[in-house]
Amino acid sequence: MSANEIVKHTDIKSLIQNVRGMQVLLDSDVAMLYGYETKQINRTASRNKDRFPEIFRFKLTEDEAANLKCQNGTSSDGLHGGRRYLPYVYSEQGIAMLSGLLKSDTAVQVSIGIMQAFVEMRRFISAYGKAFER
């Protein structure tokens, strides 16, 4: 399945997490959407670290990673084929920066889909945020 097909079949909004008061995507989800390996995505960002201030990309703390693991119902403990390091997350601005570094037509199309999902989530939160507070 191509990256474009994955984006069409994946509800990107369901992948967006709220961490530190920001809407973010896990590095592994970003990689899946773009059709890259997670390490390739993170390596690209690391090689261009001046383009990724902490509000664009940051590494989760152990508590944040454990909290997301519980929320998502994943069980990998990192010892049996799971992650051996704490994941990075990318904000909407980080995704925009990645799209400029991943030079392919697919990356452009995937980035558009991701940006649209972030916008829809902001609209949803804006419209229904006060109801959730109650």
pLDDT tens digit sequence for 12-71? 889 999 999 999 999 999 999 988 999 999 999 999 999 999 999 999 999 999 988 887
Q: Give the pLDDT confidence of 69-128 residue by residue, as tens digits.
A: 887 655 444 433 467 889 999 999 999 899 889 877 777 778 788 888 888 877 877 777
Q: According to the model, what pLDDT value does residue 40 have?
A: 94
What is the per-residue pLDDT for 124? 78
The reported pLDDT for the residue numbered 78 is 45
Label each residue of the chain as H, E or C.
CCHHHHHHHCCHHHHCEEECCEEEEEHHHHHHHHCCCHHHHHHHHHHCHHHCCCCCEEECCHHHHHHHHHHHCCCCCCCCCCCCCCCEEEEHHHHHHHHHHCCCHHHHHHHHHHHHHHHHHHHHHHHHHHHHHC
Q: What is the pLDDT of residue 76?
A: 47
